Amino acid sequence: MLKKLLTISLMLLIASSFMFAQNRAVLKADGDLIKLKKANSLREALKTTKLTGLNGRSIDKNVILKGALEPQGTLDTLTYYDRNFGSNFGFFGQDVMFQYFLAPADLIINGAGFSCSDATGSANAQISVRLMKMNWTFEEFLSFGGDGTAVNMGYYPNSDGLGNIDPFGEDATGDWVDLTEGAAATPPWAHDDYDLWSDFGFGWPITAELQDEEGNYQWVDMSNLGFNPQVSAGEVFAVVITHDGTTLDGDRIGFYAESTIGVPGWKFYENGRFAPGDGIGWWAREFTWDFVVAVDLVGDRPPVINSFDRLTTTLSTEARTVTANITDDNPSGGAAGVASATLSYSLDEGTTWMDIAMTGTEPDFSAEIPGQAPGTTVWYKLNAVDVEGLPAQETLPHNYSIFEATQPNLVIFDGLSGAGYPSAYYFGQDDFDNFTTIDFAHDVWAYGAYDESLLNNYNNVFEIVTGGPGSYQRESLTNWMAADGSRNYFLAGEEWLGADNGYTDQAYAAGSFEYDVLGVAASYNDISYDGTSGQELPSLLFPVEGSALGGALYDLYVANGSTDSLLFDPIFEISAASNWMDGFDAVNPDNVDLMVETRGIAGAPAVETKACAVHNVTAGGNKVAFMSLDPLSINSSPDYYWYGFSASSIQVMAGNWFEIAGFPLEVKQTSELVPNSYALDQNYPNPFNPSTVINYSIVKPSEVSLAVYDVLGRKVADLLNESQKAGSYQVTWNGLNNNGQKVNSGVYFYTITAGDFVQTRKMMLLK
């Protein structure tokens, strides 16, 4: 350690300073598609996939490296960034992370940079940066984690008294422990020349700083150690960052990361990925770390595919055009230019590829992918060759689908991806152990604007515009509902009422979409803001007792202890930058389900109570629910409870109101008094159409099930299957079977089982 500090101190004394400007290009390991996975551990990083607002980030055009050499060739930056890095990935004491790069030409490395999304741990710990040369090919690296599945690679044992494992074997007490069952018997640094840039194995120490603005990186100048490492074309090297803190699972530092790039970064878990001692060692993760490298290209390099169209899922079955920007230069001074470019596409996930010659002249090239049938997924990739015969690094395959409607219900995300957090969590069911969600038949659309050709395939539509809206479809929605009174619509998002009118308060008249469909008479924008502040705080909520969609939330809130405050808290729950929720006046105040306390109205301090959730039935009979906030971001304080993920949430109650199969029927406890005996009452009304109420009582805590059977004894519907405390309850059956289909007229039987108590009664459905 003394040697390390002495060397670093000397380099700091003798380093000279000047600035150079860089050109930027994307290292061609870009592409998609990795299917997003749910997080395996809330302990680890999640916060992953919770960041927004970073679209358009670009590398700083004036990177300052104090000891940079005079350029010998072409200055460039190797980076995987060409889209939003949407994750804040956790990094704790003694953890190590690295991101590998393929040298596109002979090059000199001037600096390594990283983008830090969380620097809270910097109060107690530093990080250190080094470079390593790997002896795996780029393709070998992609074979671990490249399919979107994390792979536990291995570790070296040691006796450091912390996690007792070592990342690189430099302080090991034993051989590499392979956890891949022979797929990677030795790690990619197992060769004599692996230490590309370090101080005798120690990285350059630096204090991580939060980068909360677009395009910001912290840089480590290679000349700090007196030399700039060189790498030959085709070699793979890595930027390695170590958390030097000694508090395992503490002093969190985060890096911007993204799970859809397709180049898995590696992370070393000193104390285990899932829990202490569980999942230790190196993992090839499905995330790419936002690390960058400033280089001086000194040899001829292949063509650079700077950008290309990433086509999104579409309803169209027509041919689609892909355009690309491809350039070629020769830093060594020889001939340069793009000789040819090729687009290859596959209809069988890459098993076979069909080549299409791209047309155009440098830098603009294009090719047309033939039209495909609904349900088809098209994969495509690009390559190019220069006049010297050097092939470009082929882009990773990107894919899109021809959308096919297969389910009766649709969930639209406008401003969010269709998977990951928070998208996958909006329909919770009180499972705070495994975080499973309600299993109901639905398709997902997260591909931008839509129209009636999409909507007409569905009976019920949920639209979540958190992070949006990107577009408004009032006319399409109005026409879709007008065509069938049984179609229902749920809309939620804190900016929907103001994003298209400059965020000004507005009154709505009869005939408008807001008035007739949503049931909103007037809007009040950004009611969390008092004119100077407030948007950084949660907002106080009040569920309406007995309301159609807010009543269950009220009951749960009271049962949990109403001394807590019910809050809209998007900053905590979905890592929103601010709270900009709106309030409104309802056309019918009796339909309000949730209220909010304002801090300001029209940018001036004002403490009032306004509606923020309402249900409405249109003149044509359509059921509509609207929330002027993100529905997942509801919790409580000081005792925390995630109400937005509960089965009593307003969005879940809307699914129940829409009579969608799979949503739990609302079960109301009608009395907390312990009854004298078990009972199953006769349903009322009976005969019934379309729904009926069933009351029952249990005398002690029990696992309770209530199911409906036809006259042949076949189960038709599960109304209830859960643990309940002693008391009297009420449940409603809406005449639907477990597949969401309306059952025929006739006689049915309903049976309750609670411990040893079993009873059956008969009822009749008439149409």
pLDDT single digits (tens) 361-378: 999 999 999 999 999 999
Where along the chain do the CATH 3.40.50 domains lie?
409-657
Reported as a single tens digit per residue, the pLDDT across 312-341 is: 999 999 999 999 999 999 988 899 999 999
Q: How confident is the model at residue 724 (pLDDT cuts 50, 70, 90)?
A: confident
pTM of the model as a whole:
0.65
Question: Over 70: is that where the pLDDT of 65 sits?
Answer: no
Of 495, 517, 519, whose CA–CA distance to 611 is shortest? 519
Of 96, 100, 95, whose CA–CA distance to 144 is shortest? 100
Query: What are the b/e assignments for 586-625, b being 16+ CB within 10 Å?
Result: bbeeebbbbbbbbbbbeeeeeeeebbbbbbbebeeebbbb
pLDDT at 82: 65
Reported as a single tens digit per residue, the pLDDT across 457-515 is: 999 999 999 988 999 999 999 999 999 999 999 999 999 998 988 899 999 999 999 99
Q: Which of 35-39, 188-192, 266-270 has the lowest mean pLDDT?
A: 35-39
Question: Over 80: is that where the pLDDT of 83 sits?
Answer: no
The more confident residue out of 114 and 86 is 114
Q: How confident is the model at residue 67 (pLDDT cuts 50, 70, 90)?
A: very low
Q: Which residue has the tokens 């916060």?
A: 47
**DSSP assigned state of 425:** G
Q: How confident is the model at residue 53 (pLDDT cuts 50, 70, 90)?
A: very low
pLDDT at 44: 31
Reported as a single tens digit per residue, the pLDDT across 144-160 is: 998 889 999 999 999 88
Spatial contact of 23 and 75, defined as CB atoms under 8 Å apart: yes
Give the pair of three-digit tokens for residue 92: 């704790």
Q: How confident is the model at residue 29 (pLDDT cuts 50, 70, 90)?
A: very low
Q: Tell me the longest C-alpha to C-alpha distance in the chain.
A: 95
Determine how many CB atoms are found less than 10 A away from the CB of residue 142: 18
- What CATH class does 409-657 carry? alpha beta
Reported as a single tens digit per residue, the pLDDT across 428-467 is: 988 888 898 998 999 999 999 999 999 999 999 999 999 8
- Measured in degrees and rounded to the nearest 5, phi and psi for residue 95 equal -75, 155
pLDDT at 275: 87
pLDDT at 493: 94
Question: Over 60: is that where the pLDDT of 304 sits?
Answer: yes
Where along the chain do the CATH 2.60.40.2550 domains lie?
667-765
pLDDT at 489: 99
pLDDT at 93: 93
Spatial contact of 414 and 464, defined as CB atoms under 8 Å apart: yes
Instruction: Give the integer Cα–Cα distance in Å for 664 and 720.
Output: 8
Spatial contact of 312 and 400, defined as CB atoms under 8 Å apart: yes
pLDDT at 213: 62
Q: Beta strand 236-243 with 488-492: parallel, antiparallel or unpaired?
A: unpaired
The stretch 63-70 carries a mean pLDDT of: 42
Q: 525: number of CA atoms within 13 Å, CB side?
A: 15
The more confident residue out of 739 and 709 is 709
Distance (Å) of CA 585 to CA 489, 500, 555, 611: 19, 19, 24, 6
Question: Over 70: is that where the pLDDT of 666 sits?
Answer: no
pLDDT at 691: 84
Label residue 472 exposed, middle or buried (CB < 10 Å: 0-12, 13-18, 19+): middle
**Element containing residue 141 per DSSP (H, E):** helix 138-142
Spatial contact of 613 and 650, defined as CB atoms under 8 Å apart: yes
Task: Name residues whose C-beta falls within 8 Å of residue 291's C-beta, 6 or more positions apart in sequence.
Answer: 99, 112, 113, 114, 115, 239, 241, 255, 265
Task: Name residues whose C-beta falls within 8 Å of residue 329's C-beta, 6 or more positions apart in sequence.
Answer: 74, 301, 336
Reported as a single tens digit per residue, the pLDDT across 590-637 is: 999 999 999 999 999 999 999 999 999 999 999 999 999 999 999 999
Question: Over 50: is that where the pLDDT of 48 sits?
Answer: no
306-401: CATH topology:
Immunoglobulin-like (2.60.40)
List, in sequence order, every residue forming a beta bridge with 284; answer none if it has no partner: 151, 266
Sign, CA dihedral 10-12-13-19, equals positive
Instruction: Give the integer Cα–Cα distance in Å for 240 and 544.
Output: 54
SS3 423: helix
Average pLDDT taken over every residue of the chain:
87
Amino acid letter, residue 183:
A
Question: Over 70: is that where the pLDDT of 723 sits?
Answer: yes
pLDDT at 25: 24
Give the pair of three-digit tokens for residue 320: 């689609």
Of 441, 463, 477, 457, whose CA–CA distance to 660 is shortest? 441
Q: Cis peptide before 374, with omega less than 30 degrees from 0? A: no
Where along the chain do the CATH 2.60.40.650 domains lie?
306-401
Q: Which of 43-47, 288-292, 331-335, 584-588 has the lowest mean pLDDT?
A: 43-47
pLDDT at 250: 87
Q: Cis peptide before 33, with omega less than 30 degrees from 0? A: yes
Question: Architecture of 667-765 per CATH?
Answer: Sandwich (2.60)
| DSSP notation for 189-238 | T-STT-EEESBTTBPEEE------STT--EEEEGGGGT---EE-TT-EEE
The stretch 383-396 carries a mean pLDDT of: 93
